[in-house]
Structure 1
Amino acid sequence: MKTPNPFYYGNEVYDDDFCNRVQELQELAQDVSSGQNLLLYAPRRFGKTSLLKKLKHKLDKQKDYKVIFIDLFSVSSIDEFIQKYFNLIINSFENNTQKALRNIKEVLNIRPNVTMSINETGNISYSLSISKKEQNQTLEDVLNLPSIYAKKFNKKVVVIFDEFQEIAQLKFEKKLRTILQSHSREVSYIFSGSKKSILNQMFSDNSRAFYKSVKHFHIEQIKLDEWIVFIENKFKQTNKEIEKRYIKQVFDITDGFPYYMQQIMSMIWEKTSQNADDDILKQSLELIIQREYDLYSFIWSSLTPNQKNTLKYIVHVDGLNLYSNDHLQEFNFSATTLKSTLEALLKKDICDKKDDRYYLVDPFMKYWLETIG
C-alpha cells in the first residue's frame, strides 16, 4: 500500500497536518473566555479558517461552551443569512432533534413556523417560514438566539463570522451592531475576513457601526524554524529526507504562507524517492506555476496598464522607496500617478503596506511575476 502524502492543503487543516499556531490558539481561547469580541484578518491561503476551525474544535470539547461557525462568503441576501444562521445555531446547540425542537418552540420563542428536513446523508436542517412583513423582527429574534440560550442554560457561546466583510453588501450593519452589543459577556464574537480594505472601513471608519468595537487580533507569520521542524518530521516519518536549505528556499518564495508551504512540500515529497534535490525543487515549482497560471492570469487581465506596471515596480524595488526620484524615472512614473494607482491596488487587496514597505499580498503571485518577466 502506497504511503499517503503527509502534506495537506486546499481545505481546513487539523491535528498533525496543522503547523504550530499554539500561541495564537491559546490567546484566542483566553480572549473569548473573557467575553472579548475580536477582529481577525488574514489574506487568502494564510491558514485563517483552519485556525478558527481548530479553535472551534478545542472549545467544542468543553461542556460549558457552544460554538457557532458561519461562513458568510456565499450569503447574498438577508433571508439567506437568517436561514443559514438559524440552522447553524440550532445544530450547534443541540444534537438531539426533539430537544432542539422543544428549545426552539418553548424556550427560544421564535415566532415564525419552524420546519425540519433530513437530507440523503441523514443530516438535519432547520428553516423558518418568513413573510416579508416578518423579516425585520425575525432577523432580530435569530440574532438574539445565542444570548438567550447562553443566559437560559448558563453556557458560554462563541460565534465565529468568517468572511465577515460580506455583511457590508447586505445593508444591516447598524442593526447587527446594535443587537450584538447588547449581548455582553455571555456571547463572544469573532469577526474574520480576507478583504482587508473592506474590514478596515467597517471597523476603523468612525462613521461605521462597528467602529472601535473589537480587539484586533493579528496572525503572525509561522517562523522558518517551526516550518523546518514540521517539514523535516513529515519527511522522516515517511522514510525520506529534505535539507534545511530547500525548506528555506520555499519559505523565501512563499513568505511562509501555510497553503503554499504545504502545496510545494507536497509536490516535492511526491517527486522524492529518498532525498530531495535541486532538480526536484525546480520541477515542483514549475508545476505549481503551471497550476496557478490561470488564476494569476485572470487577476492580471483585470488590471489597468498602470496597475500592472506598478506591481512590476513594487517587485523590482522590493517595495522600498517607491517615491524615490531615481526609481520613478526608471519606470517613467509620476508621483501623482503612482499614488492613485497604489490606492487602487490597496482597495483591490492585491498589494498592502507594512511600515514603509509595499508588498504583494499573495507572495506566490510575486514569484509568478518574476518568472514571466
Structure 2
Amino acid sequence: MTLKRNLVNGQSTTLVAIRRIGKTGLIRHLLAQLPAGHTGIYLDILPTESMKELLNALATAVFSTIPEQSKPGKLILDFIKSLRPVIVFDPLTGFPQLTVDVRPGEAERHIRSVLGCLEAYPEKVIIAIDEFQQIMNYPEKNTDAFLRSIIQSLSNVRFIFSGSQQHLMMQLFADPSRPFYQSTGFLKIDKIDADEYVAFIRHHFQHRGHKIEDETIRAMMEWADLHTYYVQLLCNRVFASAGKNVDDELWKQQAARLLLEQEIVFFKYRDLLTKQQWALLKAIAHEGKVFYPTSKDFISKYDLGSPATVLRSLQALQQKEMIYSDYNKEGQMFYSVYDVLFRRWMQGK
C-alpha cells in the first residue's frame, strides 16, 4: 500500500476523497496495521473551531493512545495532566474526552509542547488528522503556517492529513503560496474497483444462503453510483429483506423505500437554501455530472438566471458540502451532488 510505504519511509501524506467513500475506515485500518516500533494516533478535527479545540482534540487522542506503563509514555501523559484538563467519559463509547482551559494564545504553545513530547517518544509516531481543511475556518490567522513551522522540525513524527473538501485541501497543499505546498506526498482515494466489489458483495450474500446474480449486484452498484456508503446502505437493506433469491424487483423495492424515508431530509435541503441555490442543486442532481455549469445550454435548460448567479450558488453549495467538484479520467472537471439518494430522488421527478 502506497500510504503505508510513504509513512514507514518517513514521508507524510495528504489523503483526499469525497465524503463517505471509506477514507476514515482506511486510515483506522492502516494505523492498526503499522509495523512494530510504530504508534498510530487518530484525531478528527471537523468538530473543532479554534486552536484551543485543536489542542483538546490532540490531547484527547494522545491520552487515549499512548500507554502510561512505559517511562516515555508516562512523561508525555504527565505533561498533558500538567495542563489540568477536565476529563469526562463518553457515555456511549466510554472513551475519555479532555478539555484544557487555556488563556488566549496559549494553545499554540501547548500544541508545540505535545508534539515535542511525541518527537522524543522511542517509537515512530504517525498522527492522522482527519478533515484537516477545518483549520481554514479557525479565527486564528495563519494556522497552517504555525503548524507547518512545527511539523517541519519533527523527524520522529509523521502525518496523514486527510480531508473530504477536496477544493480546500488543494488550496492548502497545492497552492504555491501556502506553507504546506509540496510538503507531503499526495494520494486520492477513488471508488472501489467494480469487479472486486461485485465479488465481495456476492461472497457475503452467498455465505448466508442468498443467491444473487452479478448483474443484479452491478445494477445496485450503478444505482448507488459505486459510492461506498450508499452501496453498503442499499445492500444492507436488501440483505435484511432477502429470501433465498435476490432479484431486481427486490432491490428496486428497497431502493424506493430508502428514497421515501429520506424525503423529509430532501425537503429540508430546500428550506436551507436560497431559491437560486435550490434550483442549481436540482439541476445538477438531474444531470448527474455537470461539466460546464455556466454554459448557455445548461443555464437555459433549467432556467438558472445569469452565469454570475450560477457561480455564486455553485460556491455556496460547495461551502455547504451539498455538491463537490472532481475530475474524470480525461482530466475534465465536473460538479456532482454529494447525496446519491437525493440525486436519484430528483431524477425520478
- Tell me the TM-score range normalised by the shorter chain: 0.7 to 0.9
Query: Cα–Cα, structure 1 residues 159 and 336, in superposed 2: closer, same or farther, change >3 Å?
Result: same
Residue matched to 1:53: 28
The alpha-carbon deviation at position 136 of structure 1 amounts to 4.0
The alpha-carbon deviation at position 159 of structure 1 amounts to 0.4
1:344 aligns with 2:316: yes
Residue matched to 2:344: 367
Query: Cα–Cα, structure 1 residues 84 and 244, in superposed 2: closer, same or farther, change >3 Å?
Result: same
1:138 aligns with 2:106: no
Q: Identify unmatched segments of 5+ residues in structure 2.
A: none
The alpha-carbon deviation at position 359 of structure 1 amounts to 2.1
Measure the CA separation in 1 of the matches of 2:291 and 2:75: 62
1:308 aligns with 2:281: no
Measure the CA separation in 2 of the matches of 1:238 and 1:244: 16
Identity %: 26
Q: Identify unmatched segments of 5+ residues in structure 1.
A: 1-25
The alpha-carbon deviation at position 72 of structure 1 amounts to 1.0
Residue matched to 1:287: 257
Task: Select the structure with the greater relative contact order (CA < 8 A; seq sep ≥ 6).
Answer: 1
- Any idea what SS the aligned residue of 2:253 has? helix
Measure the CA separation in 1 of the matches of 2:136 and 2:264: 29
- TM-score, normalization by structure 2: 0.84
2:210 aligns with one of 237, 240, 262:
240
8 A contact 1:40–1:217 mirrored in 2: yes
The alpha-carbon deviation at position 102 of structure 1 amounts to 4.3
8 A contact 2:167–2:325 mirrored in 1: no
- Any idea what SS the aligned residue of 2:182 has? coil
- TM-score, normalization by structure 1: 0.79
Greater shift, 251-260 or 122-131, is seen at 122-131
Measure the CA separation in 2 of the matches of 1:263 and 1:35: 37
1:159 aligns with 2:127: yes
Q: For 2:263, give the aligned amino acid.
A: Y
1:209 aligns with one of 179, 188, 193:
179
Kindly report the root-mean-square deviation, in angstroms, between the aligned alpha carbons of the 2 structures: 3.0
- 1:249-308 Cα offsets, whole Å, 9 max, x none, are 221122211111111011111111100123311221122113333333333332222222
Greater shift, 235-244 or 81-90, is seen at 81-90
8 A contact 2:325–2:333 mirrored in 1: no
Greater shift, 187-196 or 308-317, is seen at 308-317
2:16 aligns with one of 35, 41, 62:
41
Aligned pairs for 1:57-72 (under 5 A) are 57-59=32-34, 62-72=35-45
Q: For 1:169, give the aligned amino acid.
A: N
8 A contact 1:75–1:166 mirrored in 2: yes
The alpha-carbon deviation at position 225 of structure 1 amounts to 0.8
Q: For 2:125, give the aligned amino acid.
A: V
Greater shift, 273-282 or 79-88, is seen at 79-88
- Any idea what SS the aligned residue of 1:85 has? helix
1:319 aligns with 2:290: yes
Measure the CA separation in 1 of the matches of 2:206 and 2:42: 36
Aligned pairs for 1:158-307 (under 5 A) are 158-170=126-138, 171=140, 172-184=143-155, 186-307=156-277
Aligned pairs for 1:324-335 (under 5 A) are 325-333=296-304, 334-335=306-307
The alpha-carbon deviation at position 322 of structure 1 amounts to 4.6
8 A contact 1:112–1:129 mirrored in 2: no
The alpha-carbon deviation at position 362 of structure 1 amounts to 3.1
1:75 aligns with 2:34: no
8 A contact 2:41–2:128 mirrored in 1: yes
Q: For 1:291, give the aligned amino acid.
A: E
Measure the CA separation in 2 of the matches of 1:99 and 1:204: 36
Query: Cα–Cα, structure 1 residues 286 and 175, in superposed 2: closer, same or farther, change >3 Å?
Result: same
- Any idea what SS the aligned residue of 1:183 has? coil
Measure the CA separation in 2 of the matches of 1:348 and 1:216: 25
Query: Cα–Cα, structure 1 residues 63 and 283, in superposed 2: closer, same or farther, change >3 Å?
Result: same
- 1:307-343 Cα offsets, whole Å, 9 max, x none, are 2222333344442455554444333344443344334
Measure the CA separation in 1 of the matches of 2:97 and 2:290: 49
8 A contact 2:19–2:164 mirrored in 1: yes
- Any idea what SS the aligned residue of 1:235 has? helix
- Any idea what SS the aligned residue of 1:297 has? helix
Measure the CA separation in 1 of the matches of 2:169 and 2:112: 23
Measure the CA separation in 2 of the matches of 1:295 and 1:209: 39
Measure the CA separation in 1 of the matches of 2:94 and 2:275: 52
8 A contact 1:38–1:214 mirrored in 2: yes
